[in-house]
Amino acid sequence: MLLEPGSFNEHDRAITAHDVLGFKDSQPYSKRIEQSRTNTGVEEAVTWGEGALAGHELVIVCFDFAFMGGSMGAATGEKITNGIEHALHSRLPLLIVCASGGARMQEGMLSLMQMAKTSAAIGRLGAAGLPYISLLTDPTMGGVTASFATLADVILAEPGAMIGFAGARVIQQATYETLPEGFQTAEFLWQHGMIDLVVPRPELPAVLRQLLDLYVRNGVGDLQLEAPAAAARPARVQPVP
C-alpha cells in the first residue's frame, strides 16, 4: 500500500512456522498454524522484501496481525532477521510495520530468543549507519515492543494504536492501579517521549518521503559516493613534507 506499484519484490515466502515443541493448549499449535495459513493466505506473520517508496529503494518488513496475532515465533524472527541483514548487505534503509501481540508462546524459549536475534541484527544495522524507521500499528505489545520495534532511529505510530509491554489487564491484576485515560495509546507514549510522531494514515507517505529524503540523502547504498570521500581522507591528515 505504501510502496510504488509493482516495485515490491518479496523474499522468503516459503519460510513457515513449525511446531517444534509439540505444543498443545485447547488446540494443537500445528492446527492453529494451518488455520492461520488458510485464513490469511500467507505462511507466516511477517512478509518482507525490497520495494520503492518516494523514489527510494528500501527493505520493508510488514506484520499481518491476522496470522496468530502477529506473534513472533522462530520463523517470524528468521524472516525479520533476513530482512534486516538484507538491508545491511545491500546498504538499504529499513522500514518495519509492526502489529503484534508479542512473543509466540507456543514456541516457548525458541520464541523468546527471537528478541535477542532480531535486536542483535538491528544493532549491526545501526553500527553500519543505515537508517531504520519503525511504524507501530494497533496493537504492538510484549516481546516485539521490547526488541526490534522500539530500536528504530525514528519511531512512528498510528493514531490510537495500543503500544506497550505488559497488557492493561495484566497490570491491573498485578497492581490494582487505576490506569490513566488513554494509557498505552500512541498519543500517551508520544507525551512520555517514547515515540517521535503520531501519523494519521493519509499523511504517512509524505512523512516517510521526508524522512527517507533526510536520512538517505548522503547516498546510503551508493558505495560510489562513499569511496572517493574515504580515499580523500588520508591525504588531508598527512602532514605536508
Partner 1 sequence: MSASNGSVASATWQQVELARHPDRPYALDYIHAIFPNFFELHGDRVFGDDHAIIGGPAAFDQRTVMVIAQQKGRTTAERAMRNFGMANPEGYRKALRLIRQAERFGFPILAFVDTSGAFPGAGAEERGIAWAIAENLVALAQARVPIVTLVIGEGGSGGALGIGVGDRLLMMEHSIYSVAMPEACASILWRDIAKKVEAAEALKLTAADLKRLGLADEIVPEPPGGAQTDYGLAADAAAAALRRQLDQLDEIETDRLVDERYARYRKIGV
Cα 235 from Cα 137, distance rounded (Å) = 49
Which residue's CB is nearer to partner 1, number 3 or number 71? 71
Which residue's CB is nearer to partner 1, number 8 or number 165? 165
| Residue in the structure block whose three cell numbers are 513449525 | 18
Beta bridge partners, 60, equal 49, 95
**Among 111, 85, 89, 110, which Cα is nearest to 100's?**
111
One of 39, 128, 159, 170 touching partner 1 (CB under 8 A):
170
Q: Work out whether strand 197-198 and strand 154-157 pair parallel, antiparallel, or are unpaired.
A: parallel
Report how many residues bind partner 1 under the rule CB under 8 A.
Answer: 58
At its nearest, how many Å lie between partner 1 and the CB of residue 137?
16
Residue 2 sits in the site that holds partner 1 (CB under 8 A): no
Residues near 21 by Cβ (< 8 Å), separated by ≥ 6?
29, 106, 107, 108, 110
Q: Work out whether strand 94-100 and strand 56-63 pair parallel, antiparallel, or are unpaired.
A: parallel
How many CB atoms neighbour CB 62 within 10 A? 21
One of 145, 158, 161, 199 touching partner 1 (CB under 8 A):
145
Residue 127 sits in the site that holds partner 1 (CB under 8 A): yes
Residue 160 sits in the site that holds partner 1 (CB under 8 A): no
Own/partner contacts of 225-230, CB < 8 Å, gap of 24 or more, are none
One of 36, 184, 211, 212 touching partner 1 (CB under 8 A):
184
| Residue in the structure block whose three cell numbers are 514456541 | 107
Residue 52 sits in the site that holds partner 1 (CB under 8 A): no
| Residue in the structure block whose three cell numbers are 498485578 | 174
At its nearest, how many Å lie between partner 1 and the CB of residue 165?
4
Within residues 57-76, the interface with partner 1 by CB under 8 A covers 73-75
Within residues 104-123, the interface with partner 1 by CB under 8 A covers 105-117, 119-123
Binding site for partner 1 (CB under 8 A): 20-21, 23-26, 73-75, 77-78, 81, 103, 105-117, 119-124, 126-127, 142-143, 145-151, 164-166, 170-171, 174-175, 177, 179-180, 183-184, 192-194
